[in-house]
Structure 1
């Protein structure tokens, strides 16, 4: 399953954070210079919480960077007016930045609601990560911060949100926590999301499909005659051609062929399939019980995403007039001339 939604952002923040408490000495950030206004002022109100402009601009710059990289790799010329959905590419990056900002803000709102605050262990993990990431020198990390329009203080703020998320994630997996789902909720969620845990005996077709089919038939016969089918299945799966072992999939995530996903979803817990033939070879599946901890984590991420999508967002004239293409052009120019940003 690929439900964890904060990993990339958290890793980025950890790399760039926990440098101490300095705030950049009052220097105007690249984000503020590119936007042309004070990025410390409130730009958005999300869920009743005031959000300073720099947090939104940080995510806007990140979205623009990603688009620029994709265009560069494809060899195409970046066109901010290219049609995307019902709007333009510029509209899409602006909306993506708003979604990212809302998601981080929702984490803070939930941390307040459920009473989670950073622990000593959280703070220690930041320090440890910083020590590891600055092995090549602290100045280089600080320059990277500046290129993203961040100060030490701002990077630590973003990193702290990632750690709040991790703490809330653990809460949802802790029995008796106000965030922990019931078993009924987990079961309903698994069905709704198409989540299935399976093991597989797999014989690749290779250059001799008949030999692979014969191996599958022999394995199927051994399963049918086994006193302990689960034990025999595990042994056969380990000896066959699929090294992945038991895995939890979400129908449509591509971890298995569509035909195998459909067959897995149709099995009852503990039940084995027949021999399933695909272009890759021959498979026998066994449905396993879902990992409650993993399922609870996936449930939490979906609830968080839904809450962030539904949270109230108030914008204003400054946000409405913000042009992503103009902002990013100015930001790139500033990045190329760091000596002029002081």
Structure 2
């Protein structure tokens, strides 16, 4: 059933919908807003985006803010010149537009999900079902998010379409591929760097590892089974590394290891490496897609102006309360 849903989801993403008999509106978002889930809440370059797709992002953003605030957020608070209420609606709108642009570009580029993508979606679903304690439990969790199985597969398909588009562009295929020298120019302008990062549970463990690395530069990083290893490629200040880690990295010579740097995850050793060209191209692609989304023609329907983030979240909480308590994922 998962594979059939995944294939159907991919087809819906890439083909214009045919007229179908409308069912009476229902679902969590309808109960919260009175807006039918299949209402075209906005269009992106002429592509209709149903209300349920937008409300998913709005629910996620409102939930995050409520978690950070420890309760009801102050919706009138300033958020960069906007009220928090307006800012959250805009953030959800940006996410919905970005997904629509992924789908649009996939169609324009002839990009479709492969058998490997569909198999990966099957595995993702199976893992989520297992973590939830069974398919019924997972479907109940989705229901509290305003989603059904097909909705969840559509969001999953967007992720895999993005990865497929990125792989095509990085390999030089299709209209989204960079011109010669474009990624290098982007990397220089953004100040991109690549680094090896070893993170240990304590500064003492990091210091012991550093002494071994300095005495034996040929030592394989895989020898450190008690730590987390990552190769990162990022731009300064983008949040990939902490300010302290970036400061330590900027002071290093090529292939030199830093002193232990305290982070939220533990103590890290960092080493600047030659820039990872593939990772730089992937970052370039992400920026290109964001620029396409920022310049997209977006038109919101009348229904969009009839709710605020505060009224949506209030209605959402009421609708969820009527469904009873949620079951945490084990």
Tell me if TM exceeds 0.5: yes
Shift of 1:324: 1.5
What TM-score do you get using the length of structure 2 for normalisation?
Answer: 0.73
Question: Aligned with 1:115: secondary structure?
Answer: coil
Question: Aligned with 1:311: secondary structure?
Answer: coil
Question: Aligned with 1:149: secondary structure?
Answer: coil
**Cα pair distance change 1:123/1:276, threshold 3 Å:** closer
Distance 1:55 1:130 in 2: 19
CA contact (8 A) 1:171 1:180 kept: yes
Q: Which runs of 5+ in 1 are unaligned?
A: 1-13, 223-231
**Cα pair distance change 1:238/1:128, threshold 3 Å:** closer
Distance 2:323 2:7 in 1: 21
CA contact (8 A) 1:238 1:245 kept: no
Q: Which residue of 2 aligns with 1:85?
A: 80
**Larger gyration radius, structure 1 or structure 2:** 1
Distance 1:261 1:183 in 2: 29
Q: Which residue of 1 aligns with 2:312?
A: 327
2:92 to 94, 97, 102: 97
CA contact (8 A) 2:249 2:270 kept: no
1:30 to 28, 31, 35: 28
Question: Aligned with 2:41: secondary structure?
Answer: strand
Distance 2:161 2:228 in 1: 35
**Cα pair distance change 1:272/1:130, threshold 3 Å:** closer
Q: How many residues align?
A: 292
- Is residue 2:171 matched to residue 1:186? no
Distance 2:295 2:278 in 1: 26
What TM-score do you get using the length of structure 1 for normalisation?
Answer: 0.71
Q: Which residue of 2 aligns with 1:197?
A: 194
1:253-283 C-alpha deviation (Å, 9 max, x unpaired): 435545444446xx7xxx577x988998xxx
Q: Which residue of 2 aligns with 1:125?
A: 120
CA contact (8 A) 1:272 1:285 kept: no
Distance 1:319 1:292 in 2: 42
1:98-125 C-alpha deviation (Å, 9 max, x unpaired): 0110111110111012110122222222
Alignment of 1:163-182 (within 5 A): 163-182=160-179
Q: Which residue of 2 aligns with 1:115?
A: 110
